């Protein structure tokens, strides 16, 4: 079976999507800001902006646009349940 770190999902609501695991500091803005000794802001989007300001880097477009997107999946599962949840959401054995 392919690693869960990078999975090409062939169909999610008629669109192609990539679930990627990269080393971007913007995936964990709170951890990066804390490691730099900086105070955290009230929400993750403010922390993304603060990280962009202190690093001089742009927030990746995929993350910057999340604030205005509708939450589609709000279930919390253990790591042991992750594979079966992804299959359930995709409606079959796409993974």
pLDDT at 51: 93
List pLDDT tens digits, range 23-49. Answer: 788 988 999 999 999 999 999 999 999
- Judge whether 95 and 83 are in contact, CB under 8 Å: yes
CA geometry: angle 60, 66, 72, nearest 5 deg: 140
Averaging pLDDT over each range in 4-13, 18-27, 58-67, 86-95, which range is the top one?
Answer: 58-67
pTM of the model: 0.57
SS3 state of residue 47: helix
Q: Which of 32, 25, 10, 30 is nearest to 87 (CA)?
A: 10
């Amino acid at each position: 079976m392919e690693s869960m770190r990078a999975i090409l999902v062939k169909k999610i609501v008629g669109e192609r999507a990539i679930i990627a695991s990269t080393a971007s500091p913007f995936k964990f803005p709170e951890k990066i800001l804390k490691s730099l000794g900086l105070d955290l802001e009230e929400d993750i989007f403010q922390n993304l902006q603060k990280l962009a300001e202190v690093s001089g880097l742009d927030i990746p477009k995929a993350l910057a646009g999340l604030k205005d997107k509708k939450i589609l999946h709000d279930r919390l599962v253990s790591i042991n349940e992750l594979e079966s949840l992804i299959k359930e959401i995709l409606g079959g054995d796409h993974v």
